[in-house]
Structure 1
C-alpha cells in the first residue's frame, strides 16, 4: 500500500479554528478502501498492542491527531469523504486560507448558475481544459460599476474559441448577458471579470470527442486599488515564446508566460520581453510593448505574431489626441529591433491589468532619461479617463 497519505496537521492550517479542526476529525479514515470505526469503538486484534492493527500486510498505528490509523511510516491514511464532507472541508479551507479572499461571484454552465460562495467555485477535473490545456479565456476590467471594453474582449474571446476549435455553449448575446449578470451578483464595483470556454468535462483522453457539452466559466475578482504609472525594469526573456499560431489566441497554455514572469522576478525585473523568430521585439508575458522614438513617433510591433491587445489597440486610438496636440509626430505599427527599443526615448508596457507602465531599464540599458516619460504618462491618463467616463462603446453599465 502506498504511503501517499498526509497527517491531519498538514491538511488543516495551524491557525485553524477549533470548529474547523473538529470537523476534520469527525471524518473516519480508511485503509484499502474500507472505512474504519472510530478509535473508541475499535477492538484490539490478537497479538497487537492497543494502538496497533493489521490489514493484509500493512501495519497501522493510531495517530493522536486523527481517528484513523497510522502506517508504520508515522503518517495517517487518506480518508474517503462523502460529498457533504468535501463541502465542509472546502469551506474550512477557504475560511482559514491566508491572503485576500476577493472572489465575489462565479458562473458555471456545469451547475447552470451563479454562486457567491467561494468554496463552491470549482470546476471538474475531467474538463478538457484542466487535464489537456484545451481552453481559452479573456478578461475585462470593472471600473466604477462598468465593464471596460467588454465587447472588444468578448469578440477576441470568441475568435480564440474558434481557433481552438471549441464549440460555444450559448450564442454571443447569451454569453454577454451571463457575464454582466455575474458581475451584478458580485456587487463588485472595482476589479476584473475573467471568463473561460472549454470543451467541457467528459473523460481524460486526448481527444475532446468524449466531451459532449462545452463549458463556460466566469469569475469576478475584487480589486480596490487603481493601477499606477510607475516605472519598472524589464529583461530579455530566455524562455522561447509561443509560435505564431498559438501566440495570437488567448489560450490557457500559459506555461511559457509563467516561466518568463518568474525569470523576470528572479532577476529583479517586472517582466521579460520576448523576441520573435526573426529577432524583432514581440511582447511581454501578458502585455504589449510600445516605444517613443527620438522623433516622437509612437511605435508598436505588428499584431501578427503576438496577442492582439484590446488595451493596446485602444491606446493606438487615443494616441491620435497626442498627435493632434503635437506631443507625438505619428503612430506606426512595424517591426522593431532590439537596438531601436533600447535606444528609444520612451518604452512602455500596455495591458488591461497595468494599463500603461513606463519602462526605465531594459537589461543593462537605461531607457531615455531613466524616468517616466511624458507620453507614457499622457497615455496612462487617457486610458484611465476612458475607463471612468469613456463612450458607451467601451463602457458597459452593470445593473446592480
Structure 2
C-alpha cells in the first residue's frame, strides 16, 4: 500500500479518512498543485510551492506550515513511495465544519498529498494530438488553482467523447487555455499565448516554456488569439506538468499547418529537455 500525506504525517492509504463535512468535499473550498517527478527529483518545486501559497492567499486560506516544512513533507512522501518518474498531487481545504457558506469561525485546514507513477508521454509528443473547441464557461478567477473544476471536467469529457485529446476553451471566440493545459499558436516563427491574467492559470510549465523560448531565440507574444486565427496557425501546442509540450496537429477535425508536429515545436521540446536535463529524448 502506498503512503499518503495527511497534514504533517505519512500514513498508509487505507488509514486515510476525511470528514463528511470537509469544505473541500462540500464546496470545493480549497486549492491544489500537481508536481512532476523526474528521476526522483522534484521538478520546479519552488515555483509550484509559491503558486500553492499564492492561491491560498487569494482565497484567504492560511496554510499551517512554512514552505520549507511543506517541501520536506512532500520530499519524504516521494522517498517513501520510491517514485522515480511520476507526479505528486497535493491539496489543502479549509477543513471540516458544520455546513454554511461563509467561512467557519473555527476549522483546521486539511492537507493531503499522494503520488502516482507515470512516464513521459513520448508518443503524443512525437506524433501530436487532436483538440476540440469548447465554450469557456468557468468562473472569472481561473488564476486560482482551486478545486472547482466542473467546467474543466465537462469540457474535457466533451472532447474525449469526440475522440479528441484536449478541449481548447474560448470566451466569445477568444482562445484562453485548454481544459487541463495552456495553449499556444505559432505563426511565422513567433509563439502566441494568452496573457497570464484571471482568465487562465499561469502554468509552471508555461513559465518554463517562455524561458526556453528566450534561450533558443524564439520570439513570444503574450497576446490572445481567436478561434479562426488558431486554425490559420502554422503550428499549435499545449503544455502542462504531466504533458510537457504536446503538438496540437488538428482542431475540430481540421489540420493545423501540414497536420504534423512543426519545427518550432520540436525545437522547444528539445530546449525543454536540455533545461530540465531529461535523459530520454523525444526526438532521436
Calculate the TM-score normalised by the size of structure 1.
0.66
How big is the shift at 1:301? 0.9
Residue 281 (str. 1) matches residue 175 (str. 2): yes
1:107 aligns with 2:2: no
Contact 1:137–1:252 (8 Å) recurs in 2: yes
Which residue does 1:252 correspond to in 2? 147
Unaligned runs of 5+ in 1: 1-102, 391-400
Match of 1:302 among 159, 171, 195: 195
SS of equivalent to 2:120: coil
- Tell me by how many angstroms 1:389 deviates: 5.6
> Structure 1 residue 211: deviation in Å?
4.3
Normalised TM-score (structure 2):
0.91
Q: Is the partner of 2:32 in helix, strand or coil?
A: strand
1:242 maps to what in 2?
Answer: 138
Q: Which of 216, 224, 227 is residue 322 of structure 1 equivalent to? A: 216
Greater RCO (Cα-Cα under 8 Å, separation 6 or more): 2
Q: Is the contact between residue 195 and residue 218 of structure 1 (CA under 8 Å) also seen in structure 2?
A: yes
- Alpha-carbon spacing, 1:234–1:145, altered in 2? closer, same or farther (3 Å): same
Q: Indicate if the aligned counterparts of 1:257 and 1:285 stay in contact, CA closer than 8 A.
A: yes
Aligned length: 275
Q: Tell me the SS of whatever aligns to 1:274.
A: strand
Structure 2 CA distance, aligned partners of 1:104 and 1:143?
19
Tell me, yes or no, if structure 1 residue 127 matches structure 2 residue 16: no
2:56 matches 1:158 = no
Task: Provide the rounded CA distance (Å) in 1 between the counterparts of 2:41 and 2:191.
Answer: 29
Alpha-carbon distance in structure 2 between the residues aligned to 1:254 and 1:236? 18
- CA RMSD after TM alignment: 1.8
Shift of 1:384: 3.0
- In the other structure, the counterpart of 2:233 is 344
**Cα distance between partner residues in 1 of 2:83 and 2:102:** 38
8 A Cα contact 1:289 1:350, kept in partner? yes
**Alpha-carbon separation, structure 2, partners of 1:300 and 1:356:** 14
Tell me, what secondary structure is at the counterpart of 1:281?
strand
Instruction: Provide the rounded CA distance (Å) in 2 between the counterparts of 1:122 and 1:377.
Output: 45
> Does residue 355 in structure 1 map to residue 244 in structure 2?
yes
Structure of greater Rg = 1
Q: Where does 1:81-120 land on structure 2 (aligned, <5 Å)?
A: 104-109=2-7, 112-115=8-11, 117-120=12-15
Match of residue 213 from structure 1: 108
1:129 partner SS: helix
Closer/same/farther in 2, CA of residues 267 and 211 from structure 1, 3 Å limit? farther
Distance in 2 (alpha carbons) for counterparts of 1:350 and 1:211:
39
Match of residue 233, structure 1, among 130, 143, 152: 130
Which residues of structure 2 form unaligned runs of 5+? 280-284
> 1:203 deviation in Å?
2.4
Deviation at 1:210, TM superposition (A): 5.0
Q: Report the Cα offset of residue 204 of structure 1.
A: 2.7
Cα distance change on mapping 1:130 and 1:210 into 2, 3 Å: farther
- For residues 352 and 163 of structure 1, the distance between their equivalents in structure 2, rounded to whole angstroms, comes to 22
Q: Is the 8 A contact 1:143 1:388 kept in 2?
A: no
Match of 2:282 in 1: none
